[in-house]
Amino acid sequence: MSPADWLELLRLHLTLSPLAIGGAMTLAPELHRALVVQHAWLSEAQFQACLTLAQATPGPNVLYIALAGWTVGLQATPGPLLQQALLAVLGLTIALVGVLLPSSLLACAAGHWLRQHPQHRGVRAFRQGMAPVVVGVMLSAAWLLARSLDLCADPSQPVPAAIAVVSTLAVWRTRMNLLWLIGAGGLIGAFGAFGAFGAFGGLGGLGGL
Amino acid sequence: MTAPATGPHPRNARELFWAFSHLAMQGFGGVLGVVQRELVERRGWMSNEEFLEEWGLAQVLPGPNVCNLALMYGWRQHGPRGALAALAGLLALPLLTLLLVASVFRLGADQPQAVAALRGMGAVTVGILAGAGIKLLLALRSHRLGPLAAMTLAGLATLGITWLDLPLPAIVAGVGGLSCAWVYRCLRPGERAAG
């Protein structure tokens, strides 16, 4: 990648940042167009892997953009390992700072202004008026994630849906540490409960023949 | 609303950093549900109502919602240092984890067991989001518009996103706009903020 390419990478992220209303995931189509289709800095599979890995690991979803920048840098120029690692860090930094800086300055400025005018009628109407929308978004996020994980797709595999229901009750009714829940979910998954129940369902199908 | 003068709150930027690190490392598939759990319930740094207000603003502004929330909350507690500490806490450890996992996957480790484990953790994340959502829905009972109206608006937003597949800006402008205008009408001019 030439210096002009690095500048273009920075410009791309800086201009996308103020458009990210609704969070980092809303930028995925536009980033895909620029990184994969327009510049071919990433392959289709690499971009998908960035999205999937960032979803699967802990932390805010915006990190898929950091990982995409890292991958762009990593394969920017063939060379010794150290040089590639440094370029990967450069790509990651450009992507993450670029996508966060404009929106963060705006958030700090807005927060500051609102603190200065806490009694303003419009400010209070806005803060209290948005509360139902926030609740709706959170419930929708649960539903959409359940749908993307296909939790209820197969009635012969009740374990994933049961994990979700038990976690819901545990979060709602108890104060237990979430890490225990996440660990338990991971263990049940890894020990093949999903697969075992899949096989069980399959055997049931055979019994019907 | 401003921060309560009493009650627990982060003592310094370092505590902000670790609090946001801790909640970020629990957020598989997004951090939305965990923020409420950590900041409202475990640490008591804000009430459910304050959380809804902070998050409403973070959601309307462009940028990753949880980053906006960390910045605004951190700044309010400890100024620019607090804002940077909260944001850094949110990003640093998850970023290192992600790079580590990405490097391992690059080496060709494609284990069905790992994929199944991630699916199990994803199912828990659904529960974290749903559980936090139910609690916040119940917190709407004390909303200015009354329980029925506030919960109906929340239901409209949910249906708009999940059933009609409307983009978030449309929900914010439609349901949010209606809700804000309604609250505005209910607030008397010059009335002091409650609390």
B30 burial type by CB count under 10 A (0-12 exposed, 13-18 middle, 19+ buried): buried
Query: Measured between CA atoms, how close is B52 to chain A, in angstroms?
Result: 5
Q: What is the DSSP letter of B46?
A: S
SS3 A197: helix
Contacts of A61 in chain B (CB under 8 A): 29-30, 64
Residues of chain B numbered 3-22 and touching chain A (CB < 8 Å)? none
Check pLDDT > 60 for residue A193: no
Q: Answer yes or no: is the ipTM higher than 0.95.
A: no
A40-57 confidence digits (pLDDT tens): 999 988 888 888 788 778
Q: Do B59 and A131 touch (CB under 8 A)?
A: no
For residue A208, CA distances in Å to A144, A158, A196, A201, A203 come to 34, 19, 19, 11, 9
Name B140's Cβ contacts closer than 8 Å, sequence gap at least 6: A131, A132, A135, B147, B150, B151, B154
Enclosing H/E stretch for B20: helix B13-24
pTM of the predicted protein model: 0.81
Q: Is the pLDDT of residue A195 over 80?
A: no
What number is the average pLDDT over the span A23-52? 87
pLDDT at A61 over 70: yes
Q: What is the pLDDT of residue A8?
A: 97
Q: Is B94 near chain A, with CB under 8 Å?
A: yes
Say what percent of chain A tops pLDDT 70. Answer: 91
Of A42-46, A120-124, B25-29, B67-71, which one has max mean pLDDT? B67-71
Question: For A81-97, how does the pLDDT look when each residue is reduced to its tens digit (9 = 90+)?
Answer: 899 999 999 999 999 99
Helical (H) or strand (E) element with B80: helix B65-106
Q: Is the pLDDT of residue A201 over 50?
A: no
Q: Which of A12-16, A117-121, B36-40: highest mean pLDDT?
A: A12-16
Which pLDDT score, from 0 to 100, does residue A178 have? Answer: 81
pLDDT in tens, B99-124: 998 887 765 445 677 777 877 888 88
* CB-CB under 8 Å, B153 with A136: yes
